[in-house]
């Protein structure tokens, strides 16, 4: 229509061209502008009621249409005539201004809708403890990472497509908040997995002794039949899959950070451009542009994260996942150790028939040998880390742990955690007779030998103290106890 009007004016009233057409446009914009502003607000609100992801898509299309109109007007009216009409160009974009000011809320709602569409484990599936259900839950968490990273990348593109990147500081706050929300959702899913894996540390762990409790009713706590034979291998494999998920979350947060820095450098160039609608948007959002131009060099050069809450949350999630994996691995050990520190045998008085028995006749308790065998078979279970480790295959000089080193580090962590749990159980022992000390020496010698193979001389002090004390002569032990 503009082109046809310009052709008519040029042919019929050449002396009035292009001033007549420009004046007509100015009058048109003055009449239509308020109506266009209200209509756009209504359309955006209606679209948001149906799907919070629609409004920004519509607004990007509106800006593209306005930009195309500017380019067409410049071709039709000439660079000189149209270039002098900055106020009119600004009037053309004025209906978009309320939506530009609402960009942060629109983007927050958009990303919240995308996060709400994720199929993460929730409380509805917590009752299913089958291996298939556990595996599906971990796979769902893994699949969500790339999905969310893609959503963040699209948000960066939308910010530039709608606001020319002028609202980038607002976008950074939205990305930071949305990623933090996503990581909180992963934390809630981890709580669901605790129920599915049934691996919460028992309340009895480290509890003070309770005289007359069930543990005092028998000489031995029933053995679970050998921890190494328990069906925990698959549980460990599935749980270890979360280690890769947690690391991937941090990597994707770092990737989004890098994408933001790249986009900011691109925005810096666009703000200086005289092409398209850049001059119009700069005038409409003059205050925002001034602040952004000052902050871009600092933001792009800084080594600090542009997404501090998300980075902190990702690191905390890695720690939470490591705790969860340890809880899964230690769950059968903790069950075996329940009541161990309150066994009646520790305070049992020697009978006359036992007086001449040599101390080397004592064998380790079944619970302790089960735990030792379980600890020895764990390296095989940790082989699952080989394909999951992001550092595996990274090449020489990569600076990170390879899969074998990572598995070794986990074995050390697990051994330290088991040793700590065992030490807490020993602190529950209230009375130690000579026969009890003899049994404790057998238990500790066996257990500490296995620990030494893994930890070297880094045996926890509490175990060394009990080992040395239990090995004392009965009269020396009694004197020390007093």
Q: pTM to 2 decimals?
A: 0.83
Mean pLDDT, to the nearest integer, of 70-76? 75
Give per-residue burial for 167-204: e unless 16+ CB within 10 Å, then b: bbbbbbebbbbbbbbbbebbeebbebbebbbebeeeeb
Alpha-carbon span 230 to 399, nearest angstrom: 37
Confidence check: pLDDT of 260 > 80:
yes
Contact 422, 337 (CB under 8 A): yes
- The end-to-end CA distance of the chain, in Å, is 104
Q: Cβ of 416: how many Cβ atoms within 10 Å? A: 16
Confidence check: pLDDT of 24 > 90:
no
What per-residue confidence (pLDDT) applies to 221? 44
| Residue range 309-330, pLDDT digits in tens | 999 999 999 999 999 999 999 9
Mean pLDDT, to the nearest integer, of 71-99? 73
Contact 347, 436 (CB under 8 A): yes
Crossing angle for the helix pair 168-197 and 103-116, to the nearest 10 degrees: 20
Helix/strand/coil (H, E, C) string of 308-334?
HHHHHHHHHHHHHHHHHHHHHHHHHHH
Average pLDDT for the chain = 82
Contacts 24+ apart (CB under 8 A), 118-124: 118/144, 118/147, 118/148, 118/182, 118/185, 119/143, 119/144, 120/144, 120/185, 120/186, 120/188, 120/189, 121/189, 121/192, 121/193, 121/196, 122/188, 122/189, 122/192, 123/192
Alpha-carbon span 44 to 41, nearest angstrom: 5
Confidence check: pLDDT of 26 > 80:
no
Confidence check: pLDDT of 431 > 90:
no
Greatest extent of the chain over all pairs of C-alpha atoms, in Å = 130
20/300: higher pLDDT:
300
| Residue range 125-155, pLDDT digits in tens | 666 788 899 999 999 999 999 999 999 999 9
Mean pLDDT, to the nearest integer, of 305-310? 96
**Helix (H/G/I), strand (E/B), else coil: 167:** coil
Counting residues of the chain whose pLDDT is more than 90, the rounded percentage is 43
For the ranges 39-43, 72-76, 421-425, 453-457, the lowest mean pLDDT is seen at: 72-76
Of the candidates 370, 350, 366, 369, the one whose C-alpha atom is nearest the C-alpha of residue 437 is 350
| Residue range 216-235, pLDDT digits in tens | 433 444 444 455 444 467 88
Tokens 């238990």 -> residue: 443
Provide φ and ψ at 223, rounded to 5°.
-75, 145
**Residues contacting 400, CB < 8 A, separation 6+:** 390, 391, 394
CA distances from 205 to 190, 329, 364, 436, 475 (A): 22, 15, 21, 21, 32
Class of residue 375 by CB neighbours under 10 A (exposed 0-12, middle 13-18, buried 19+) = buried
Confidence check: pLDDT of 341 > 80:
yes
Of the candidates 176, 174, 191, 175, the one whose C-alpha atom is nearest the C-alpha of residue 121 is 191
Torsion angle defined by CA atoms of residues 53, 57, 60 and 61, in that order, rounded to the nearest 10 degrees: -160
Alpha-helix runs per DSSP H in 338-457: 366-381, 385-388, 403-426, 434-455
């Amino acid at each position: 229509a503009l082109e046809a009007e310009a052709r008519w004016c040029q042919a019929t009233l050449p002396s009035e061209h292009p001033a007549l057409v420009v004046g007509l446009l100015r009058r048109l914009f003055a009449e239509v502008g308020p109506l266009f502003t209200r209509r756009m607000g209504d359309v955006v609100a209606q679209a948001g009621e149906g799907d919070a992801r629609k409004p920004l898509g519509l607004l990007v299309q509106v800006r593209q249409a306005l930009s195309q109109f500017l380019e067409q007007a410049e071709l039709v009216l000439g660079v000189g005539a149209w270039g002098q009409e900055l106020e009119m160009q600004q009037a053309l974009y004025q209906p978009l201004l309320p939506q530009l000011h609402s960009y942060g809320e629109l983007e927050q709602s958009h990303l919240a809708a995308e996060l709400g569409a994720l199929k993460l484990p929730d409380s509805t599936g917590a009752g299913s403890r089958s291996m298939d259900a556990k595996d599906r839950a971990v796979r769902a968490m893994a699949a969500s990472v790339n999905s969310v990273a893609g959503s963040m990348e699209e948000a960066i593109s939308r910010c530039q497509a709608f606001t020319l990147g002028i609202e980038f500081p607002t976008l950074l706050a939205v990305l930071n908040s949305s990623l933090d929300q996503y990581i909180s959702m992963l934390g809630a899913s981890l709580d669901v997995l605790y129920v599915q894996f049934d691996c919460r540390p028992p309340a009895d762990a480290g509890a003070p002794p309770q005289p007359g409790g069930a543990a005092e009713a028998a000489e031995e706590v029933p053995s679970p039949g050998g921890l190494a034979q328990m069906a925990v291998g698959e549980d460990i494999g599935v749980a270890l899959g979360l280690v890769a998920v947690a690391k991937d979350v941090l990597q994707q947060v770092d990737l989004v950070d890098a994408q933001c820095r790249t986009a900011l450098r691109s925005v810096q160039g666009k703000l200086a451009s005289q092409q398209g609608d850049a001059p119009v948007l700069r005038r409409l959002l003059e205050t925002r542009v001034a602040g952004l131009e000052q902050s871009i060099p600092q933001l792009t050069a800084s080594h600090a994260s542009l997404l501090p809450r998300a980075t902190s949350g990702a690191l905390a999630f890695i720690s939470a996942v490591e705790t969860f994996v340890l809880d899964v691995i230690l769950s059968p050990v903790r069950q075996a150790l329940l009541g161990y520190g309150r066994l009646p045998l520790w305070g049992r008085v020697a009978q006359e028939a036992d007086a001449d028995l040599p101390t080397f006749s004592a064998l380790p308790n079944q619970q302790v040998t089960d735990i030792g065998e379980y600890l020895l078979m764990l390296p095989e279970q940790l082989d699952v880390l080989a394909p999951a480790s992001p550092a595996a295959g990274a090449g020489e000089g990569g600076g990170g742990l390879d899969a074998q080193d990572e598995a070794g580090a986990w074995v050390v962590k697990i051994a330290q955690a088991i040793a700590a749990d065992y030490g807490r159980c020993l602190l529950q022992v209230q009375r130690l007779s000579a026969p009890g000390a003899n049994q404790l020496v057998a238990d500790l010698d066996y257990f500490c030998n296995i620990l030494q193979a893994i930890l070297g001389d880094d045996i926890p002090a509490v175990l060394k103290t009990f080992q040395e004390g239990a090995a004392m002569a009965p009269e020396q032990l009694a004197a020390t106890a007093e």
